[in-house]
C-alpha cells in the first residue's frame, strides 16, 4: 500500500480509458503510476519533476502526455517507460 510521497500536493491525475486501474498521479516530486486503482504507486523513473497535468491519449492508451508547471510537454509512447520532450 502507499507509495506516494506523504503530505505532498497531487496536482494531476488520470486513469486509463481502457484499463481504469492504471493511473498516473503528478506531483512536484515527479510522476507516479498505479496498476491497482490507486492502492499502490511507484515512481515513474524517467518522467520529469514538477508535474502539473497528465492525460492518456484515448485513441492510443499506451500513449501518455505530461505537462510540467513551467509549460514543458512530454510524451510517452510506452506506458510511461520513456518520455520525449515535445516543446
Q: Which residues bind another protein (CB under 8 A)?
A: 1-15, 17, 20-21, 23, 25-26, 29-30, 34, 37-41, 43, 48-50, 52-60, 65-73, 75, 85-87
CB of 63 to another protein, least distance (A): 8
CA–CA dist 53, 67 (Å, integer):
5
Nearest partner of 82 among 58, 56, 61, 64, judged by Cα: 64
Nearer to another protein, 66 or 80 (CB): 66
CB of 68 to another protein, least distance (A): 5
Indicate the burial class of 66 (C-beta count within 10 angstroms; 0-12, 13-18, 19 or more). buried
CB of 17 to another protein, least distance (A): 8
Amino acid at each position: 500500500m502507499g507509495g506516494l510521497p506523504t503530505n505532498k500536493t497531487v496536482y494531476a491525475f488520470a486513469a486509463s480509458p481502457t484499463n481504469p486501474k492504471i493511473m498516473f498521479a503528478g506531483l512536484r516530486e515527479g510522476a507516479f503510476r498505479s496498476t491497482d486503482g490507486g492502492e499502490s504507486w511507484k515512481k515513474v523513473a524517467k518522467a520529469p519533476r514538477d508535474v502539473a497535468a497528465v492525460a492518456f491519449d484515448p485513441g492510443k492508451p499506451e500513449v501518455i502526455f505530461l505537462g510540467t508547471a513551467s509549460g514543458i510537454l512530454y510524451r510517452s509512447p510506452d506506458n510511461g517507460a520513456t518520455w520525449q520532450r515535445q516543446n
